[in-house]
Amino acid sequence: MRQMSEYCKQSFLKNQRVMPQILKKGAEKQSKFFNNFGSKRGFSSRGGGDRFNNFLENLASRIPGGNIGAVIVAINTFCYFMYLIWPRYQMYSYLNNFTFSKFNLNQGRLHTFFTSHFTHMSFLSYLLDSVIIYLFCQNLGMMFGPVFVLKNILLSMFMGNFLLFLQHQSSNGMLRPFYGNDSILRGLIFTIIFQNPQASFYMFPLPIQIPAWGIAAVLLGLDFLSFNVAAFGGVSASYLMVNYFL
């Protein structure tokens, strides 16, 4: 009886020493698990284990000034230059390679998922989009870092392509081919709006300040009237970036 009592006492003391260690290790593992899924401000790869983040950081570090907008402007300029020098009697081939359409997808022109987001066919739209994107990328880069801006743009393009794909696949091929910076612009603009909806901004060319929610209402109203699904992709991307990854 005395031996059993002594055995129980030793077992209790042993468990008393071991259990806190087990609980501590369990808590550390649980914390590490949730940290892997937790959002990181600006998507920095401080853990060093995320190759995609490292790739984007290395890419952003090679851009002069770290302004992703300079790259967007350069791609816009290239696509618009190609439009200017393209033979007018072969413009159909330009549309086949620089616009998003069901026909292009059926022909396997997957590169239009990318090129369509930088194509312009008028100087005014090219100039305005390029200037606005450059300024917004510069401001967002100063606030959240260039990696965040780059991911914002990539996610806006992805969401825009996804909604465009659904729209064109559900149609009978009668939709107008899509091109332009709409997804990227909405992603950048609505990131600032969702981040601070009570702020006021100047809406070019009006010389007055307009609340952020007012600008959002105007843009969404115009997009609804034109059924601009690519713009909706940028809006949804900015919402995800602000609420889950910022």
Given a cut of 60, is residue 144 above it in pLDDT? yes
Given a cut of 50, is residue 4 above it in pLDDT? no
pLDDT score for 205: 63
Phi, psi of 22 (to 5 degrees): -65, -45
Given a cut of 50, is residue 45 above it in pLDDT? no
Given a cut of 60, is residue 8 above it in pLDDT? no
In a domain, 42, yes or no: no
- Residue 89 confidence class, pLDDT cut points 50, 70, 90: very high
Q: What is the CATH number of the domain that holds 139?
A: 1.20.1540.10
> Which region among 8-17, 156-165, 183-192 has the lowest average model confidence (pLDDT)?
8-17
- Residue 154 confidence class, pLDDT cut points 50, 70, 90: very high
Task: Give the H or E element holding residue 211.
Answer: strand 209-211
In a domain, 14, yes or no: no
In a domain, 37, yes or no: no
In a domain, 26, yes or no: no
Quick one: average pLDDT of 197-225?
81
pLDDT score for 32: 41
**What span, in angstroms and rounded, lies between the C-alpha atoms of 108 and 103?**
9
In a domain, 35, yes or no: no
Given a cut of 90, is residue 5 above it in pLDDT? no
**What span, in angstroms and rounded, lies between the C-alpha atoms of 103 and 114?**
16
**What span, in angstroms and rounded, lies between the C-alpha atoms of 64 and 142?**
14
Most confident range, picked from 3-7, 38-42, 167-171, 221-225: 221-225
- Residue 182 confidence class, pLDDT cut points 50, 70, 90: very high
Quick one: average pLDDT of 91-112?
93
| Neighbour-count burial for 60-70, b at 16+ CB within 10 Å, e otherwise | beebeebbbbb
Given a cut of 60, is residue 17 above it in pLDDT? no
Residues, the chain:
246
Query: Using an 8 Å Cβ cutoff, are 99 and 177 in contact?
Result: yes
In a domain, 81, yes or no: yes
- Residue 153 confidence class, pLDDT cut points 50, 70, 90: very high
Residue with tokens 């808590």: 27
Given a cut of 60, is residue 28 above it in pLDDT? no
The closest alpha carbon to 81, from 126, 24, 40, belongs to: 126
> Which region among 41-50, 57-66, 76-85, 93-102 has the lowest average model confidence (pLDDT)?
41-50
pLDDT score for 210: 82
pLDDT score for 173: 64
Query: Using an 8 Å Cβ cutoff, are 157 and 117 in contact?
Result: yes
Question: Into how many domains does the chain fold?
Answer: 1
Question: What's the predicted TM-score (pTM) here?
Answer: 0.76
Structural domain range at position 200: 51-244
Phi, psi of 178 (to 5 degrees): -95, 145
In a domain, 115, yes or no: yes
Given a cut of 90, is residue 174 above it in pLDDT? no
pLDDT score for 126: 96
